[in-house]
A = this chain, B = another copy of it.
Amino acid sequence: MAGWRENVREVEPYVAGEQPKQTDMVKLNTNENPYPPSPKVQEALERTAANILRLYPDPTADELVTAIADRYNVIKSQVFVGVGSDDVIAMAFLTFFNNPEKKPVLFPDISYSFYDVWAECFRIPYKTVPLNENFEICTEDYRQPNGGIIFPNPNAPTGLAIGLDAIKEILDANPDQVVIVDEAYVDFGTDSAISLLDNYENLLVVQTFSKSRSMAGMRIGFAIGNEELISCLMNVRNSFNSYTMNCTAIAMGAAAVRDEEYFRETTQKIIETREWAKKELTALGFTYPDSKANFIFASHKSVAAEEIFRKLRERHIYVRYFNKPRINNYLRITIGTREEMQKLFDALKEILGAYNGECQ
């Protein structure tokens, strides 16, 4: 056996949600937005001439950074953009989680499943902090020696959010560590920690265009923090790849973030559909944490989640099932359009009805 195999980095690859391609499917498995991006994105796309592609993109992604800074009332040097929030958070792990004493980075045991994957890949020690029995983040658990902290707010896949006071407690207890709040789902009804930035120099807030801005396909994420944190991130990013954002991502992203009205309208529609979906799920015998995200994490009182998952799949309705400790009786259901949710509920009635011995 050739020796080069011994030099290969061993990793536990992340397994993403399946991306089925049926035309008649109801796709509620990867937390995408059921509405198209802002019409301004279509216009920006139509304005794009292929000829600009021959030149390198603007490495500062100035058009996009300016639009984000304007929207969030920060200055441009407080904004870092990347290829989805996955790229942004990976760079943040690489940049900020290098404590010489090898103290572990902390994150919840039930959380976004990429955190441990990045830690493994970059050989960063980590420790998962159990959520309580109600799947809540308890701030006192983050008062232990650590090399950095990251958690999503609202958390995934539970959908539960914590308030700014709880975030402040975590920040106050950890002034010597960078604390990353991953706000992928914040726009569906949670207060952003961006408002805390003036008081906490160790806070980094990460958001994405994949959910509330309907642009998962364009791969845009961003971080907002103080200028020093952002400059550290940029140095590491530039030592990795100076041109990560392509021309179209810069232009389409800027067009999307400038259309505040469309953003409010579509996020509001999703919030309304979610609240209606909660009632429907309750009526069907499901329980769930009170989600503030664009998904609901639901468990049925009598039928196993894996069974429901399979039966939905047979009907080309895709939701997400994680075969992992503590959560293997839950389904993560993305909020689609009202019509898509109705199809889901109709199918659930059929599936659950069969278990109750009812006639169909």
Contact = CB atoms under 8 A, between A and B. Distances in A.
Interface stretch (A41-49, A156-164, A309-317, A319-327): A41-49
A205 to B, nearest CB: 15
A16 B52 contact: no
B19 A239 contact: no
Contact of A240 (B54, B97, B118, B216): B118
Interface stretch (A5-13, A282-290, A342-350): A5-13
B55 A2 contact: no
Q: Which of A33, A219, A232 lies at the interface centre, i.e. has the most chain B CB atoms within 10 A of its CB?
A: A219
B244 A246 contact: no
Given A2-B175, A4-B177, A246-B217, A11 B96 contact: no
Given A175-B2, A239-B12, A241-B87, A246 B218 contact: yes
A50 to B, nearest CB: 4
Interface string A96-113: 111110000000000000
Interface in A23-68: 27, 30, 32-37, 39, 41-42, 45-46, 48-59
A254 interface: no
B58 A41 contact: no
A25 to B, nearest CB: 11
Interface residues of A, number: 86
Nearest to A100: B6
Interface string A169-186: 000000111100000000
A249 interface: yes
A96 B218 contact: no
A3 B100 CA distance: 11
A4 B178 contact: yes
Interface in A210-225: 210, 214-219
A252 interface: yes
Contacts of A39: 50
A6 B147 CA distance: 11
A75 interface: no
A18 to B, nearest CB: 10
6 contacts: A6-B100, A9-B96, A13-B234, A55-B216, A86-B241, A248-B249
Q: Which 6 A-B pairs have the closest CB atoms?
A: A3-B176, A42-B50, A217-B247, A53-B217, A11-B239, A36-B51
